[in-house]
């Protein structure tokens, strides 16, 4: 019986527009090694109906690569992705993980509600740059990490830094960075 805790990375590519480049990047040996280096135990991939064949081909290669990260996947869940995203939250038997998502606004909101670090990857093949603009703005406000398929491992490292910063008080996106001492001094009337 293993006593090691799980640490899950959940990836969603969306239901309406499959994002093959994101699937390829996430299931690549180099990204799985990056996950393993940060003690992740599982990569769960929502690949969409159009991504099934690509996922199957890549996942079988990934398992044989030996990173130690379990790779699981599914096409769609008609009840939504919330329960899958919540698997990345901490619990008695799991460390807090990460959600990696295409940059659709509904998906980003769902991911942010989990309270775990979220990596948002805009799909450059979509018309207009609405995903890019949204990802840029949310990253600038330190709500998410914007990732690129070419550097998911780098985004994973930045997500760990975001996790640390969001656990500080006051939160990085609160608008005030006085620190606890500064706020208490202000409240108590100890002004310089």
Round to whole Å and give the CA distance between 62 and 33. Answer: 10
In a domain, 120, yes or no: yes
Place of tokens 């990732």: 147
What is the pLDDT, as a whole number, of residue 180? Answer: 63
In a domain, 76, yes or no: yes
In a domain, 147, yes or no: yes
* pLDDT averaged over 10-residue windows placed end to end, the chain, 192 residues: 79 86 95 96 93 91 81 92 94 93 93 95 82 93 95 97 82 60 71 60
In a domain, 155, yes or no: yes
Q: How many domains does the chain have?
A: 1
Q: How far is CA 139 from CA 27, 37, 59, 68, 158, in A?
A: 24, 24, 30, 31, 11
Helix extents (H) in 49-166: 52-65, 82-86, 105-113, 130-140, 152-166
What is the pLDDT, as a whole number, of residue 92? Answer: 86
In a domain, 1, yes or no: no
What is the pLDDT, as a whole number, of residue 170? Answer: 63
Count of alpha carbons within 13 Å of 190, Cβ hemisphere only?
Answer: 6
What is the pLDDT, as a whole number, of residue 21? Answer: 95
Q: How far is CA 45 from CA 36, 102, 185, in A?
A: 16, 12, 47
In a domain, 81, yes or no: yes
What is the pLDDT, as a whole number, of residue 1? Answer: 42
**Stated pTM of the model:** 0.85
What's the CATH code of the domain at 53? 3.40.50.2000
Place of tokens 């993980």: 97
Question: What is the token pair recorded at 102?
Answer: 């295409």
In a domain, 100, yes or no: yes
Place of tokens 């079988």: 60
In a domain, 40, yes or no: yes
CA 7 to chain centre: 12
Round to whole Å and give the CA distance between 149 and 124. Answer: 10
Domain containing 149 equals 6-188
């Amino acid at each position: 019986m293993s006593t090691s805790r799980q640490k899950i990375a959940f990836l969603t590519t969306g239901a309406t527009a499959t994002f093959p480049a994101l699937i390829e990047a996430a299931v690549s040996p180099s990204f799985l090694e990056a996950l393993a280096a940060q003690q992740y135990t599982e990569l769960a991939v929502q690949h969409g109906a159009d991504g099934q064949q690509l996922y199957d081909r890549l996942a079988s290669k990934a398992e044989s690569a030996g990173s130690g990260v379990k790779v699981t996947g599914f096409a769609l869940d008609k009840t939504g992705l919330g329960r899958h995203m919540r698997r990345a939250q901490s619990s008695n038997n799991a460390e807090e993980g990460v959600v990696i998502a295409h940059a659709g606004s509904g998906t980003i909101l769902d991911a942010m509600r989990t309270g775990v670090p979220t990596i948002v990857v805009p799909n450059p093949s979509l018309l207009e740059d609405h995903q890019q603009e949204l990802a840029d703005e949310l990253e600038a406000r330190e709500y998410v990490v914007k990732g690129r398929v070419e550097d998911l491992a780098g985004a994973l490292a930045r997500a760990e830094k975001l996790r640390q910063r969001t656990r500080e008080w006051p939160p990085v996106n609160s608008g005030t960075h006085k620190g606890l001492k500064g706020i208490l001094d202000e409240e108590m009337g100890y002004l310089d």
